[in-house]
Structure 1
Amino acid sequence: MTPSAQISAVIELLLAIQKEKYIPADSTANRFFRRRRYIGGGDRRFVSGKVWEILRCYRKLEWWLKRVGSPINPRMMVAAYLVLSGNSISKVHSFYSGEKYAPLLLNNNEILYLQSLVNKPFVSAEMSKAVIYEVPDWVYPIINDQYGDQTEKELSTLLEPATLDLRVNFLKVEDRYKAREILASENIQTELMNISPWGLRAQGRQSITSTNAFKNGLVEIQDEGSQLIALMTGVKSSMRVLDYCAGAGGKTLAMAMMMENKGHIIASDIFSARLNAAQSRLRRAGVFNCETHIFAEDAKWLKRRVESFDRVLVDAPCSGTGTWRRNPDARLRFKENDLLELVEKQAHILDSAARMVKKGGRLIYATCSILRQENQDQINNFLERNNNFSLVEPDTIPELLPEKFMKKTSFQLTPAQNQTDGFFCTVMVKN
């Protein structure tokens, strides 16, 4: 693709993301590229990379365009991004040439708007903190109240690109060193993770899913924080386990590996598409101690198994604030009422899941949120309603979980403090 054609594709993809505002940007991007098979791998990386860069500074671009009186649309967002990144007007004009596969020629008004942005910094002293750190206005005070003098560090880190984390599947390869060697033979360079005993971190942006190591189930893409949640469950090969909100099965896979394909796991979710994806991943990973079920409160399979599980994992639907590095578009969609609805839903799910834990069994609650309302506050309220549960330290095999986690009943991870996505997890026992 020519540089102009690349910029045109950036505008098209950004427009598609705006139109499908209730669909995650990565899903929209995947569909966008599937319909344009002619776009090669290098061009895809350029286009998606530029779109994600723009999404990470969306509020600042919007602020500048409003300030100079420009319409706010993908075409001008991209042009403003180019100018604020240091490109000259003539350079931007060359991209917007109006030629075949290029964006339409810039008109006189558009040129005037862009000229007003020349030599302007991305960050203006007149911007609010919420705009600078790309969060909704109503969210900033909540995070500032919770993190205090660490707020700016936490929010700055959430604006950085996320790492590419892998979990080695010990059902198919003996250790991380062997997996690392296999990946290196396919030109994928990795480092051992600091906390997870199963984790490898890939260097830069690499196409893991095209490797034989991934296709053959030797590795799975999974953030280190997510791996630690699986570790906190402390599952063993003799147990009956329920992954209550399994989604596409990332933590189900990790628990099956911990159980060495023994015992029994049920992965449930309300969305059949997610469970279909989970089944595909389970097959690839060589997991056969797991079954999947569509979740419904009145489902017969659920009623028959009340108080029968040694472990119940609730990876609750949440704001996803801890994953904003990966999903910068999510912060643009996050509304105040969303948080209120999520907190209510999480409370209901916790109470429902608690019924499934047998006496002496454990309930593990997790979110990918950095907000106290969804995390510690949610657990405090649950324990007030359910006095037959209490906090307990995880009983994971000591050599698997670092000592600093072994002596805690819960943890809150953040990108700034732990170089992981933002995750909360706590362990409770049914007395």
Structure 2
Amino acid sequence: MKKQPKKIREIALEALEKIEKQQTYSNLLLNDLIQKYQLTGRDAGLLTELVYGTLQRRMALDFYLQPFLKTKIETWVRHLLHLTIYQNVYLDKIPERAAIHEAVEIAKQRGHRGIAGMVNAILRSIQRKGLPSLEMIKNPIEKIAIATSHPQWLVDRWVEQYGYEKTAAMCEKNVTAPTQTARVNTTKATRKEVVDLLRGEGYQVEESPMLEEAIHAIKGNLAYSQAYREGFLTIQDESSMIVAYALQLDKNQSVLDACAAPGGKATHIAEKLHCTGNVTALDIHEHKIKLIRQQAERLDLSNISTKILDSRNAAEHFAKESFDRILVDAPCSGLGVIRRKPDIKYTKSQQDITSLQKVQLSILDAVAPLLKKGGLLVYSTCTVDKLENDAVVSHFLHNHSDFEAYDLQVPAAFIPFAAGHIMQIFPQDFNGDGFFISSLRKKV
């Protein structure tokens, strides 16, 4: 007898379990599961919605569920209940009765009749009595934390750094779905030509109002397009694209990308150099260097060279003052990309941020001697934490008298977010990733 294919909610439950047990990155696991079960179109979209949505709203779902629990339950049962409550509270296209029925069926398959009965009883009780109201929470910071499922230490930290209103807006944005954005490879085609190619394949796309090489995907995953496979585009957020502009590139320059994987910024730099000069891309891991090479080959970029190297040891491998531009897109907490990786907010700690700052400073210290006089050093992160951003830049300038702050040069749409030599973008600013960029110049 042929085995029935797994249903989407069963796959979603599998994903939630693996993310918690194995500390697997949600975005990577989802891609693997979509390929494993050969999901396309609506099914792939529903799985993504269920997994990301349930992860994003985990603390709120716990708040809603807790009054209905009489005994301790297994982790997978909690995930199943979260998944069902998420559908009933946050999705309006799935009938409540259907979601409950399927949860009970999954409970029967995974557990036994007793567990299925308990799941049914809890969900029917929620249906009769209704969910507890978030208005019961009187502390405004605690209310933001639970309503948007951000650990309270993180909300406290952001309120201290940016104030209540900006923090509330950021937390609310972090539980919405991100837009997929792609960068056109302008060495091969114009944006209009790539848009036409994608529309010809059946994708719904529109031109970005923020950057001339950016495209927004309205429907369909552009990473599966023929245009992507043939090297006409790269998946990259607009916030991240600003880095190449901040470097103020000219033809034939030598550029060091000190923390280059998976290669989005390195390839953008290579494109902006019009395939002249050289981009030296470093990463500590061999498999990540392989990813950069694959991207360069796919995009037909011959001006990228790679090296497996911890950038903190770069001075042992390159001569002093050998690069016109240096990019340090540093390892960071990733708190600006919570919408794309919702598990980040539950796994990071304050200690992680302090430890990362030491790594960030050590990388900057190591590569600084490699920059030519008059050259630009751009420091960037995909976080919104001041300890990893403003504090790192201030500390570096304090300890390196041969460097000075240098005003960022960015496209017109980004001028409102720049303040002299630094720019902090928040997810709510224009629906992009949270991102930090700073421009520093080596004195002549």
TM normalised by structure 1 equals: 0.90
Q: Secondary structure at the match of 2:336?
A: helix
Per-residue deviation, 1:63: 2.9
**Matching residue's letter, 2:59:** R
Are 1:166 and 2:182 matched, yes or no?
A: yes
Counterpart Cα distance in 2 of 1:83 and 1:3: 24
Query: 2 CA distance for matches of 1:4 and 1:215?
Result: 29
Q: Higher helix share goes to which structure?
A: 2
CA distance in 2, matches of 1:98, 1:241: 54
Q: Is the 8 A contact 2:13 2:83 kept in 1?
A: no
Instruction: Give the secondary structure class of the aligned counterpart of 1:355.
Output: helix
Following TM superposition, by how much is the alpha carbon of 1:401 offset from its aligned partner in structure 2, in angstroms?
A: 7.7
The change in CA–CA distance for 1:67 and 1:124 in structure 2 (over 3 A counts) is: farther
User: Larger RCO: Structure 1 or Structure 2 (Cα < 8 Å, ≥ 6 residues apart)?
Assistant: 1
The amino acid that maps onto 2:118 is: N
Q: SS of 2:305's equivalent? A: strand
| Equivalent residue number for residue 214 of structure 1 | 228
Tell me which residue corresponds to 2:336. 322
- What is the CA–CA distance in structure 1 between the aligned matches of 2:229 and 2:18, rounded to whole Å? 30
Query: How is 1:88-107 mapped onto 2 (pairs within 5 angstroms)?
Result: 88=96, 92-97=100-105, 106-107=115-116
Instruction: Identify which range, 40-49 or 194-203, moves more after superposition.
Output: 40-49
Quote how far apart the aligned CAs of 1:221 are: 0.5
Give secondary structure in 1 for the equivalent of 2:387.
helix
Residues 174-323 of structure 1 mapped to structure 2, 5 A cutoff: 175-204=190-219, 206-296=220-310, 302-323=316-337
Amino acid at match of 1:61: L
Residue 103 of structure 1 deviates from its aligned partner by 7.3
1:426 aligns with 2:435: no
RMSD: 2.7
Q: Distance in 1 between matches of 2:8 and 2:107?
A: 13
Q: In structure 2, do the counterparts of structure 1 residues 43 and 122 end up closer, same or farther at CA, with 3 Å as the change threshold? A: farther
Name the counterpart of 1:51: 51
Offset at 1:297?
5.8
Q: Tell me, in whole angstroms, the C-alpha distance in 1 between the residues paired with 2:68 and 2:260.
A: 47
Check conservation: 1:4, 1:103, Cα contact below 8 A: no
User: Quick one: distance in 1 between partners of 2:179 and 2:210?
Assistant: 15
Q: Please tell me whether residue 125 in structure 1 is matched to residue 136 in structure 2.
A: yes
Cα separation, 2, equivalents of 1:195 and 1:187: 24
Q: Could you tell me which residue of structure 2 aligns to residue 8 of structure 1?
A: 10
1:78 and 1:277 map into 2 onto residues whose CA distance is 35
Aligned to 1:156: 172
Secondary structure in 1 matching 2:295: helix
Tell me the distance in 2 between the aligned counterparts of 1:298 and 1:338.
19
Please give the per-residue CA displacement for 1:304-359, whole angstroms capped at 9, x wherever unaligned.
32221110000001111110011111111111211111111111111112121111
Q: CA deviation at 1:11?
A: 1.1
Mapped to 2, the partners of 1:377 and 1:162 lie a distance apart of 28
Inter-CA distance 147–395: structure 2 relative to 1 (3 Å threshold): closer
For residues 250 and 72 of structure 1, the distance between their equivalents in structure 2, rounded to whole angstroms, comes to 41
The amino acid that maps onto 1:304 is F
Q: Secondary structure at the match of 1:363?
A: strand
Deviation at 1:50, TM superposition (A): 0.7
CA distance in 1, matches of 2:258, 2:388: 17
1:405/1:415 Cα in 2 relative to 1: closer, same or farther (>3 Å)? Answer: closer
Alpha-carbon spacing, 1:414–1:103, altered in 2? closer, same or farther (3 Å):
farther
The alpha carbon displacement at 1:259 in A equals 0.3
Between the aligned partners of 1:132 and 1:197, the Cα distance in structure 2 is: 37
Equivalent runs, 1:26-45 vs 2, <5 Å: 26-37=27-38, 39=39, 42-45=42-45
Which of 105, 110, 121 in structure 1 is aligned with 2:119?
A: 110
User: How far apart are 1:153 and its partner, in Å?
Assistant: 1.0
| CA gap 1:269/1:154 in 2 versus in 1, 3 angstroms | same
After TM superposition, the score normalised by the length of structure 2 is 0.88
CA drift at 1:407: 7.6
CA shift in 2, pair 1:72/1:378, >3 Å: farther
Q: How does 1:365-376 map to 2 (within 5 A)?
A: 365-376=379-390
Higher mean displacement: 231-240 or 290-299: 290-299
Report SS of the residue matched to 1:360. Answer: strand
Aligned counterpart in structure 2 of residue 77 of structure 1, from 71, 76, 79: 79
Deviation of 1:111 (Å): 3.3
Residue deviations 1:231-265 (CA, integer Å, cap 9, x gap): 11112112110000001110011111110000111
2:375 matched residue in structure 1: 361
Between the two proteins, the alignment pairs up a number of residues equal to 425
Q: Partner amino acid for 1:281?
A: Q
Contact persistence 2:251–2:273 (CA under 8 A):
yes
Q: Give CA-to-partner distance per residue, 1:7-47, whole Å, 9 cap, x none.
A: 222211211111111x311222233344444x555433322
DSSP-derived class of the 2:7 partner: helix
CA distance change for structure 1 residues 3 and 75 in 2, over 3 Å: closer, same or farther?
farther
1:341 aligns to what?
355
Are the counterparts in 1 of residues 230 and 298 from structure 2 also a CA contact under 8 Å?
Answer: yes
The separation in 2 between residues aligned to 1:180 and 1:35, in whole angstroms, is: 30
Q: Percent identity among equivalent residues?
A: 25
Which residue of 1 is the match for residue 92 of structure 2?
none
Closer, same or farther: CA 33–183 of 1 in aligned 2, 3 Å: closer
Q: Specify every segment of 5 or more residues in structure 1 that has no aligned partner in the other structure, as ranges.
A: none
Separation of aligned partners in 1, 2:259 and 2:125? 50
What's the secondary structure of 1:328's corresponding residue?
A: coil
| C-alpha distance in 2 between matches for 1:3 and 1:143 | 44
Structure 1 letter corresponding to 2:105: S
Q: 1:265 to 1:146 in 2, by over 3 A?
A: same
